[in-house]
Amino acid sequence: MGCFSCFSPHRKDVQNCDDETGVRSAESSERGKGRDALKGRGKENGTRSGEGACSYTFRELAVAANNFRDVNLIGQGGFGSVYKGRLESGQLVAVKKLNLNGHQGNKEFIMEVLMLSLLHHPNLVTLKGYCTDGDQRLLVYEYMAMGSLENHLFDLRPDKKVLEWSTRLKIAVGAARGLEYLHCKASPPVIYRDLKSSNILLDNEFHPKLSDFGLAKLGPVGDNTHVSTRVMGTYGYCAPEYAMSGKLTLKSDIYSFGVVMLELITGRRAYDSARNPGEQNVVVWARPFMKDKRKFVQLVDPLLQGRFSTSSLHHTVAITAMCIQEQPTFRPLIGDIVVALEYLASQAESSDATRSGSRTPQQPSPSHRHRLNVHFS
């Protein structure tokens, strides 16, 4: 096993999101050096030095994941399969074994390794290492015991606990913080491009982390307003202007976040072909209800059985409606979303913890309330 130390990205304030440093060099390296950029690093030393992703042999990961047997399988998709594993050190990990004929190619693999080696935040999944033996492509992540958000929202088994309203808001806040880091703290900003419930992983405390960065792109810098790229992503989550033109902006991620918010509110998938026509796309189905506050309650996941604050629901729906605006310029900034959701989540948490005698959560500043046009009372 070999390791290479990551290069810490230049941190910045939310107001200064346009300096072209840090991650830009990673994308250049990915384009120019390809697989050799990964294979040539850190072979002299088998111990981890600071923060960094380690290079594992295929044999090491096969042993860790019990030879990739079905009993260790914890996830599957177009990219390949994810297995629960235990490293020689005893540490639990998730090992993603890429399907060589799947949707995620060598370019996406290298981009994910580079991105997660450069970007570090409590709401981004930690990359422990990778494998590039021969044609094999494997990624090693920290193990997230509760799996993905999608596993806790859809097609629940009778013995599966329903996510409470306060937990849903907690997950929304964490996902928004991760996105805020990508948009406003990374330099240059990073467009996630693959925000969906299956890419939000949860630990034992339902603390969320964004995962799967193979489709991530560096955002526009300087006078540029967008990045032109091939349309990628998952149907139902892609912003309409991006799907039609290939013009990618930070606001494209905001639309995807709004779709995830709808999933949290409704318990419906972004797109479900098993539903009746007109109900398959959750955004299309929800829009008529979102135009009338009296109908907001009809959006709510029936599994919640009324266990939510009507006021909290109204504010959450209002934020969600702004995120899925057809015109990207009308969608809010992620920083304003974070502030609003943090307030709603703290309110819901304090309500769960104690019905009386608790301090009222501090309301967002007037400037944030004005920008989001959400009135808290």
| pLDDT averaged over 10-residue windows placed end to end, the chain, 377 residues | 39 37 44 43 37 88 96 86 95 91 72 90 96 93 96 92 97 98 95 96 97 89 76 90 93 98 98 95 97 97 96 98 97 98 93 54 58 59
* Nearest alpha-carbon partner for 200 in 223, 225, 172: 172
Cα–chain-centroid distance for residue 314? Answer: 24
Sign of the torsion formed by the C-alpha atoms of 239, 240, 241 and 247: positive
Choose the catalytic residue: 135, 159, 194, 352: 194
Q: What is the pLDDT of residue 98?
A: 87
Place of tokens 């596993």: 151
Nearest-Å Rg of the Cα atoms of the chain is: 21
Is-catalytic flag, 194? yes
Q: What is the pLDDT of residue 36?
A: 45
Q: What is the pLDDT of residue 242?
A: 93
Please measure the distance between the N-terminal and C-terminal CA atoms of the chain and give it in whole angstroms.
56
Upstream peptide bond of 188 is cis (omega within 30 degrees of 0): yes
Q: What is the pLDDT of residue 51?
A: 55
* Nearest alpha-carbon partner for 107 in 215, 234, 210: 215
Q: What is the pLDDT of residue 79?
A: 76
- Do the two domains 2-142 and 149-372 of this chain adopt the same fold? no
Cα–Cα distance list, 293 to 110, 154, 317, 337 (Å)? 46, 25, 9, 20
Q: Are 209 and 170 in contact (CB under 8 A)?
A: no
Q: Where in the chain are the domains?
A: 2-142, 149-372
Q: What is the pLDDT of residue 237?
A: 97
Task: Classify 265 as helix, strand or coil.
Answer: helix
CATH code matching the domain that covers 2-142, chosen among 3.40.50.300, 3.40.50.410, 3.30.200.20, 3.40.50.720: 3.30.200.20
Query: Which homologous superfamily is 149-372 in?
Result: Transferase(Phosphotransferase) domain 1 (1.10.510.10)
Give the C-alpha separation, 124 to 160, whole Å: 26
DSSP 136-189: --EEEEE--TT-BGGGGTSS--TTSPPPPHHHHHHHHHHHHHHHHIIIIISSS-
Query: Which tokens is 352 given?
Result: 């769960």
Task: Classify 128 as helix, strand or coil.
Answer: strand
Decide the pairing of beta strands 208-210 and 200-202.
antiparallel
Give the C-alpha separation, 376 to 350, whole Å: 16
Q: What is the pLDDT of residue 376?
A: 52
pTM: 0.82
Binding residues for ATP: 97
Give the C-alpha separation, 16 to 82, whole Å: 37
- Would you put residue 337 in left (φ > 0), alpha (ψ -120 to 50) or beta? alpha
Q: What is the pLDDT of residue 324?
A: 98
Residues whose CB falls within 8 Å of the CB of residue 244, separated by 6 or more in sequence, listed in order: none
Give the C-alpha separation, 221 to 225, whole Å: 8
Give the C-alpha separation, 199 to 204, whole Å: 16
Q: What is the pLDDT of residue 363?
A: 60
Place of tokens 């044609």: 135
Decide the pairing of beta strands 80-86 and 73-77.
antiparallel
Give the C-alpha separation, 65 to 50, whole Å: 25
